[in-house]
Amino acid sequence: MKKTRHQNTLNQIVKPSVKNRKDVWYKLDLSAIVYPTLQRRDFSSVYRLSVVLKEPIDPELLQKALDMTLVRFPTYKVAIRKGLFWRYLEPNNRPGPYVKKDIKNPCMPMHFKGNNRYLIRVYYYGSRIALEAHHCLGDGTGGMCLLQTLTATYLGLLGHPVKPEGFVLNINEEPDPEELEDAYMRYANAQVCPPRPAEKTYRVRGTKEPFYTLNIIDGILSVREVMAVAKKYNASITEYLNSVLLYALLQKQTTDFHIRLRPVRIAMPVNLRRFFPSKTLRNFITMVYPFVDPRLGDYTFEEIVEHVHNHMRYHINDKFLRGDITTNASTQRNPFIRVVPLFIKDFVVRTFYTKVQDKNSSAGLTNMGALHVPEDMKPYIERFDIYMGQPFSSRTNCAIISFEDILTINFASSIVEADVERYFFRKLVQDGIHVKIESNRDLSIE
């Protein structure tokens, strides 16, 4: 079969044994460009994925599994470098990264020159394996592929071989060229660039925690129970949980001192692989913003669910998302911007994000959906967790993932107050859903 021009280009870039080449480098993908720009001493775009097994972790075997696995993921075995106009990723052959005992406050800032310049961390605690990755390497899908492959390799060393499929890759194979591509640029071909939301939203006020403190609140639920309740509202699980978070934020705004009400909006990543075929392990997401405007009147919960349902149906489709990708790519393709020095780009992007983009949402919510693993792995896995990590400003981030009948809702914030989380879980309980709460701090959700 004749190869496309796109496939030929990819082969020219990465075909010669990516594992052994020292002169290979990777341009940051369209999303990754922003994350290093926002880096500061107390903030880093780090997310965490973890898997809970049914037996305690052997750290020596886990280290061996990591060494074997990471070679298969060349865009994760890298260090970030600065050029005159852009940052880029280069292969990192320094010792490490080394597995460590887990810490109380996860997703700590990841400084580019620390950890032998690796941009991932692997922790263990009891029967849990946790992977933390800087967002400039890839999104949750790429990270989950690395975590599941690492887990499969570890189980294999324990004498439980796992056949590669789905998120579990064969560590003895060369990477597929598509795994390394910036998939955004392949699909940024709409003829119009839709505008972005620009109105300021409600911002949660709270007491900032001490430096490097991240408050974690986990809710463990039954998928069947949540699905049954969502069905009563004629909504999907994602639509229902988005609506619960909007409901909680509206309640929080009502109890806060305010001169005037503002819209409540959620920043929700969408996995573009669902709409545009790609095997990329790098970033391939875009944002949609479900919202409710209380200035228009009081909303019942049923009205919130209906509003979110219609918003998602309108925005989450290949036509609208292609336009959004094109809007993102238009800046990078601008010939003038391409030759602007990096320090000027950093200043402009950081100012725009701080003054405009970060104020466009009241909270973040991501849902990785139902995870599937090879049948060989299922007997050894209890559950998965996901954390969006340190918020850029005073707010809470919510991340959702499910495996079999266990659905986990993980909140992460850097403020003392847990009012939004309390309203959120109370609403779930009021709807008849049983919730088990875990946290790295002492609090009451009742």
233-273 pLDDT, tens digit per residue, is 999 999 999 999 999 999 999 988 778 899 999 999 999 99
Q: Over range 1-23, report the average pLDDT.
A: 41
Q: Over range 29-35, report the average pLDDT.
A: 91
Grade residue 15 by pLDDT with cuts at 50, 70 and 90: very low
Whether the per-residue pLDDT at 88 is higher than 80: the answer is yes
pLDDT in tens, 119-166: 999 999 999 999 999 999 999 999 999 999 999 999 999 999 999 999
Whether the per-residue pLDDT at 6 is higher than 50: the answer is no
Whether the per-residue pLDDT at 220 is higher than 80: the answer is yes
Of residues 441 and 16, more confidently modeled: 441
Percent of the chain exceeding pLDDT 90 equals: 72
Grade residue 16 by pLDDT with cuts at 50, 70 and 90: very low
**Under 8 Å between Cβ of 110 and 132:** yes
pLDDT in tens, 324-346: 999 888 877 777 778 788 888 88
Grade residue 23 by pLDDT with cuts at 50, 70 and 90: low
Query: φ, ψ for residue 412 (rounded to 5)?
Result: -135, 130
Token duo for residue 131: 């992977």
Q: Are 25-181 and 215-369+388-439 equal in CATH topology?
A: yes
**Half-sphere CA count of 422, side-chain side, radius 13 A:** 10
**Three-class DSSP labels, the chain:** CCCCHHHHHHHHHHCCCCCCCCCCCEECCCCCCHHHHCCECCECCEEEEEEEECCCCCHHHHHHHHHHHHCCCCCCCEEEEECCCCEEEEECCCCCCCCEECCCCCCCCCCCCCHHHCCEEEEEECCEEEEEEECCCCCHHHHHHHHHHHHHHHHHHCCCCCCCCCCCCCCCCCCCHHHHCCCHHHHCCCCCCCCCCCCCCCCCCCCECCCCCCEEEEEEEEHHHHHHHHHHCCCCHHHHHHHHHHHHHHHHHHHCCCCCCCCEEEEEEEEHHHCCCCCCCCCCEEEECCEECHHHCCCCHHHHHHHHHHHHHHHCCHHHHHHHHHHHHHHHHCHHHHCCCHHHHHHHHHHHHHHCHHHHCCEEEEEEEEECCCCCCHHHEEEEEEECCCCCCCCEEEEEEEECCEEEEEEEECECCCHHHHHHHHHHHHCCCCCEEEECCCCCCC
Whether the per-residue pLDDT at 196 is higher than 80: the answer is no
Sequence spans of domains, the chain: 25-181, 215-369+388-439
The Cα 46–Cα 34 span in angstroms is: 13
CB atoms within 10 A of CB 91: 18
Grade residue 44 by pLDDT with cuts at 50, 70 and 90: confident
The pLDDT score that the predictor gives to residue 78 is 97
The pLDDT score that the predictor gives to residue 199 is 79
C-alpha angle with apex 70: 65 to 71, nearest 5 degrees?
Answer: 115
The pLDDT score that the predictor gives to residue 443 is 61
The pLDDT score that the predictor gives to residue 5 is 37
pLDDT in tens, 421-436: 999 999 999 999 999 9
The pTM (predicted TM-score) of the whole model is 0.91
pLDDT in tens, 169-194: 999 999 999 999 999 999 988 888 77
CATH number for 215-369+388-439: choose from 3.30.559.30, 3.20.20.70, 3.50.50.60, 3.40.50.300: 3.30.559.30
The pLDDT score that the predictor gives to residue 183 is 94
The pLDDT score that the predictor gives to residue 444 is 55
Q: Say whether domain 25-181 belongs to CATH 3.30.559.10.
A: yes
Whether the per-residue pLDDT at 211 is higher than 70: the answer is yes
